[in-house]
Structure 1
Amino acid sequence: MNDVRPFRLETAQADLDDLRERLGRVRWPDEVPGLGWRYGAPLAHVKELAARWRDGYDWRAAEAEINRHDQFVTEIDGQRIHFLHVRSADPDALPLLITHGWPSSPVEYLDVIEPLRRDFHLVIPSLPGYGLSGPTTETGWGSTRIARAWLELMTRLGHDRFGVQGGDWGTWISREAGVLAPERVVGMHGNGIICFPIGAPGELDGLTEVERERLAFRESYLTEQYGYKLIQSARPQTFAYGMADSPVALLSWFASVYHEWSDGGVDPDRLLTTATIYWLTNTAGSAARSFAETPDTEQDTGVEWELKPATVPTSISVFPKDVLRPIRRFAERDNNIVGWVEHERGGTFAALERPEAFAADVRAFFTSLR
């Protein structure tokens, strides 16, 4: 099945009424005063977001904004794939495949579409099992399978050679596309990249203060924030019931991540748009299943996996509050790093937080390759 069909987001009013009704009868938990974010999203913060979601947020405006861009769906390897395909006015523009991470969607890139389309034909899919791609129906949708699906998608769109860009888990998927088809991928840009020390002799010698802080953050992440991944990778089905039945459960889970993995620059309405997409498509549980497929989970549980070297030219933009805070010497071990940009502000959702800086980095890197 190779057909690519136009798609338009059209939400039934009954679904919005149901969401609003649920938001109006929340059973709130208690909390210990004075803890702030130490135990997770504070009650006052979630109440404020939920009240805005119910009475101040305009989903129809968000829906219209998404629909201003050409969208399509197709089926690849038995899975529905939704994507934006925004063509540049320049017929010779480089195709650029952008992959989001968790808990995200193409909404993350709405603010950079216009500046980037001057130089690129943009292809921005929803990950399998996430949002408008709908739930997955089987296991196995790890980074390699998704990368293969992305290569098939670009073939169907007539893009023989193209660049790839990714954030969060999207960096790994983008990297995999380059590993699988280096003759097609002209370069890879990531805001962040997954890399870490492997215990080799002397690899920690001469680290700068900033690099040591990044290693320390990795340790604190594993002890304080890794619960997101452990729960979703170990018991995603049990986790899914609360996400499917309670919009506030979903909202609080996402709000915690957007707070802890960002630099405070995410527009609350962008967060609510992403939460609404996951709620309407009932894919928070399906997206959680993808955590059982990620490479570091496989490593943690003892399943053998091989890190294959990536040869395509790669540039990394490092944002200080990103959950991925790479150290260049570790990234260079298995990647062809030709560019490295350190930013003073920003986090995991760079296209939302620092759209101008994000777009400038992407444009500069791929321009240098051409």
Structure 2
Amino acid sequence: MATTVDERTSATAVRPFKVEVPQADLDDLRARIAATRWPEKETVDDQSQGPQLATVQALARYWLEEYDWRKCEAKINSFPHFLTEIDGLDIHFIHARSPHENAKPLLVSHGWPGSIVEQLKIIEPLTNPTKYGGSADDAFHVIVPSMPGYGYSGKPTEKGWGPDRIAAAWDVLMKRIGYDQYFAAGGDWGTIVVELLAVNHPASVLGVHVNMAGVIPPEIDVQFFKNVLGASPVLPNLPADLTDDERKCCEELDKVWTGGVSYALQMAARPQVIVGQADSPAGLAAYLLDHDAKSLAMITRSVNGEPEGLTPSDVLDNVTHFWLTNTVVSAGRLYAENTYSFFGVKGVTEVPVAVSVFPDELYPAPETWARKAYPKLVHYNRLPKGGHFAAWEQPELYVDEVRTGFRTLR
């Protein structure tokens, strides 16, 4: 992975950065895709065994014959990029300033198997809303960092880089570039990180927006943890007084915990075992596609030619980004570092919170639980479409949610 940066002048310097992938790296990628040794077809007619062979093969053909990384590279480089060292590790980030005078700083934190690629569609509408039919009063300066071990950030060489340490690094980053107070938004790991920002640095955070809200009550959350291997079924033992929305949430979570997060359990226990994904582009693609059943179904439809929130090129932008940076293993180690509940209440009591519920998220966070989890809930809305990768899949809806959620807090 070739990059261009200014020479550092001090450990805390903020250095300009540009992505420049050598053509030899892209030629090598194509050769590896063409040389893929494919396994036999799955023994079922659905996705219960993971991404179907036909889907991955069709995506690989598109990768070889139609996909153009240079378009993604140009889009990435259309925004200002920087590196700075925090807590001994280089942190990469986009810092796109708004042309509007009263813009507020907004940090957007990605998750897995995402990257800064997830946020490329929302940066311009958030920084320059008047260009997209919005009001200058809703403008933000947008900061999108790459998680440690992801993308162009450094790869930790020792244990300890869990979500709380990342949250602390994000607070240092924001202050270093001139923002003592700021808004924060995130999904997936990004939700956990920005919620911990609000818990551990409440004076810094003006408000939080999440689209995978951490609202599961502790007494129910712990039951799901105990049932990971199916030894203690949760649904028959739920409290009798749950509302319909709360029970629906638990039913969807049950699907996630009893088969939908196998990759998370694997990386939490033994992340180094996925070394093969660093050597096979097709293997990497299949692994990254298998995040959740609804997203996989949506991507499969897209690969088969149906218009969806993500195009095949969208999907391959992210997969190719992982490949060129060789970060599948280093990114996966975040699961091994984590000591927090994925979906449970984190204790965000001092900071206002906005919640957006997209219908194909892992679970539909009930408003009743959101109000208990976030005493300063300022916005709760259920959207008509979209899933786990909301900013990537439905950028217009996501941008509107962020604007609306923070409007009263500016």
Cα distance 1:168–1:263, how it changes in 2: closer, same or farther (>3 A)?
A: farther
Alignment counterpart, residue 388 of structure 2, candidates 348, 356, 361: 348
Alignment counterpart, residue 235 of structure 1, candidates 270, 283, 291: 270
The aligned counterpart of 2:357 is: 318
Cα distance 1:356–1:73, how it changes in 2: closer, same or farther (>3 A)?
A: same
The aligned counterpart of 2:397 is: 357
Alignment of 1:30 with 2:58, yes or no, is no
| 4+ aligned runs moved over 6 Å, structure 1 | 297-300
Alignment counterpart, residue 267 of structure 1, candidates 286, 296, 311: 311
Alignment counterpart, residue 276 of structure 1, candidates 315, 320, 342: 320
Deviation at 1:196, TM superposition (A): 1.4
Alignment counterpart, residue 372 of structure 2, candidates 313, 318, 333: 333
Deviation at 1:299, TM superposition (A): 11
Instruction: Quote the RMSD (CA, aligned, Å).
Output: 2.2
Partner-residue secondary structure (3-state), 1:173: helix
Alignment counterpart, residue 21 of structure 1, candidates 16, 21, 31: 31
Deviation at 1:263, TM superposition (A): 7.4
**What is the CA deviation profile of residues 95-154 of structure 1, one whole-angstrom value per residue up to 9, with x for unaligned ones?**
000001101111111111111103000000111111111422121111110011000100
For the residues of structure 1 that align with 2:342 and 2:96, how far apart are their CA atoms? Answer: 35
**What is the CA deviation profile of residues 328-347 of structure 1, one whole-angstrom value per residue up to 9, with x for unaligned ones?**
33333342322111112111
TM-score, normalised by the number of residues in structure 1: 0.93
The aligned counterpart of 2:225 is: none
For the residues of structure 2 that align with 1:216 and 1:80, how far apart are their CA atoms? Answer: 41
Instruction: Give matches, 1:278-317, under 5 Å.
Output: 278-296=322-340, 307-317=346-356
For the residues of structure 2 that align with 1:296 and 1:152, how far apart are their CA atoms? Answer: 21
Q: Is the 8 A contact 1:324 1:348 kept in 2?
A: no
Deviation at 1:310, TM superposition (A): 3.2
Deviation at 1:259, TM superposition (A): 5.7
Q: Is the 8 A contact 2:358 2:386 kept in 1?
A: yes
After superposing the two structures, state which structure 1 stretch, 106-115 or 319-328, moved more.
319-328
Q: Is the 8 A contact 1:262 1:322 kept in 2?
A: no
The percent identity for this pair of structures is 41
Partner-residue secondary structure (3-state), 1:132: coil
* Number of residue pairs aligned between Structure 1 and Structure 2: 363
Alignment counterpart, residue 68 of structure 2, candidates 35, 38, 58: 58
Unaligned runs of 5+ in 1: 301-305
Instruction: Give matches, 1:208-223, under 5 Å.
Output: 208-223=243-258
Instruction: Give matches, 1:162-173, under 5 Å.
Output: 162-173=182-193
After superposing the two structures, state which structure 1 stretch, 274-283 or 329-338, moved more.
329-338
Deviation at 1:307, TM superposition (A): 4.3
Cα distance 1:163–1:298, how it changes in 2: closer, same or farther (>3 A)?
A: closer
**What is the CA deviation profile of residues 259-291 of structure 1, one whole-angstrom value per residue up to 9, with x for unaligned ones?**
633772222212111111111111100111000
Q: Is the 8 A contact 1:86 1:117 kept in 2?
A: yes
Q: Is the 8 A contact 2:292 2:362 kept in 1?
A: no
For the residues of structure 2 that align with 1:139 and 1:25, how far apart are their CA atoms? Answer: 36
Unaligned runs of 5+ in 2: 1-10, 129-138, 221-236, 299-308
The aligned counterpart of 1:366 is: 406
**What is the CA deviation profile of residues 46-99 of structure 1, one whole-angstrom value per residue up to 9, with x for unaligned ones?**
001111112210001110111011111111111111111000001321000000
Instruction: Give matches, 1:64-143, under 5 Å.
Output: 64-118=74-128, 119-143=139-163
Q: Is the 8 A contact 1:194 1:324 kept in 2?
A: no
For the residues of structure 2 that align with 1:349 and 1:220, how far apart are their CA atoms? Answer: 18
After superposing the two structures, state which structure 1 stretch, 4-13 or 127-136, moved more.
127-136
TM-score, normalised by the number of residues in structure 2: 0.84
Alignment of 1:9 with 2:33, yes or no, is no
